[in-house]
Amino acid sequence: MIRIEFTADDIARTRVLPTLGPFAETVLGVGSVRMARPGRVSAPWQAATRGRYARAVADLAGFFSPTPTVQLDLFSRIAPAAEFDEGAEGLLAMPDQAFRDEVEVTRCRTTPSWLRGIERAELPARRRMVDVLERLHRETVLPHWAAITTVLDAERNRLQRLLVEGGVDRLLSSLHPLARWSSPVLELPAAGRWTSEPQWSRLGGAGLLVVPSVFCAFGPVPYFPYDGRPGVLLYPAVPADELARLWAMTRSTTALAVLLGRTRAAALEAIQAGCTTTELARRIGVSPASASQHATALRDAGLVASRRDRNRMLHSLTRLGLALLEAPRS
């Protein structure tokens, strides 16, 4: 168990985010291969353990999570990133000492030969790690990103309602069944599983980012950057028995993706629930400018309707776009 003691500044600076981004979800997915309880490893990562990158997944999973109770933190020191490349650049730019500190906390196994030098934060080793993570991201996360962000946006909206209706007290007391709030202390029974003794932590006035995740293996579990940044509280946004429904939402290998291209097909699916250009960018893992281009192309094809609402552009499917999305495909 971990107990987090909040100050008045911590409470004032606590906020919610929909996601840390596709880079963080990829790192969490790799860790979940070793950390998740039976039945909790998601379908994409189960497939990855049997696919062409199976050895790389096993090596990285062992490095990120040397025991089923520890996850190497390669995300809380990096700003939330809407695109994988942005998160990867954050990892490459992490100060050497900060990187070594994180690795030293968890390293208790032999480093895979292809990662030699990573424990010293050597840049070539970091680049090799990022290259493999990028391939895994394309295989396991990117095909599902529109569905993932739709789910995470909905969860963020739930958290925001709690915050608006009752402040931080309501947010933290209603966050998750495995989080207990008794102001000013948040108890997390699922965290700190490496010891039977309760651990006490403080946020130092930096506050807390509450972030739902699809690939977080268990939780809620906190990560503490110790460099003036807010703490990060991650938790599984989707119950284990609903994960299959999430993967069923994606159609990455259908004729639709062949017809439109994977990213544009993902954009069409993401727009099904209605969204702004900024939300579309986050859901499909591209820049806002790129999202605007995809929405324009779909609108020009008669698949999407867009209307301006003050300084936002709102997108929705036309009847033709909905019919194309719902058409039976093999």
251-326 architecture in CATH?
Answer: Orthogonal Bundle (1.10)
Tens digit of each residue's pLDDT (9 = 90 or more) over 57-94:
999 999 998 888 888 888 888 888 888 999 999 999 99
| Residue scoring higher pLDDT (282 or 252) | 282
What is the side-by-side strand order in the sheet with 180-182?
180-182, 185-188, 2-5, 199-202
Q: Residue range 272-298: average pLDDT?
A: 89
Tens digit of each residue's pLDDT (9 = 90 or more) over 48-67:
999 899 999 999 999 998 88
What 8-state DSSP symbol labels residue 285? Answer: T
What is the side-by-side strand order in the sheet with 221-223?
15-16, 208-213, 231-236, 221-223
Residue 4 pLDDT: 96
| pTM of this structure | 0.78
Query: Which residue, among 324, 325, 327, 304, has the nearest Cα to 314 in the 3D structure?
Result: 304
Cβ neighbours around 7 below 10 Å, total: 15
55-107-91-52 Cα dihedral, nearest 10 degrees? 0
Query: Which residue, among 72, 70, 62, 126, has the nearest Cα to 94 in the 3D structure?
Result: 126
The Cα 8–Cα 293 span in angstroms is 44
Residue 298 pLDDT: 93
Q: Which span out of 134-143, 179-188, 263-272, 309-318 was modeled with the highest average pLDDT?
A: 179-188
What residue spans in the chain does CATH classification 1.10.10.10 cover? Answer: 251-326
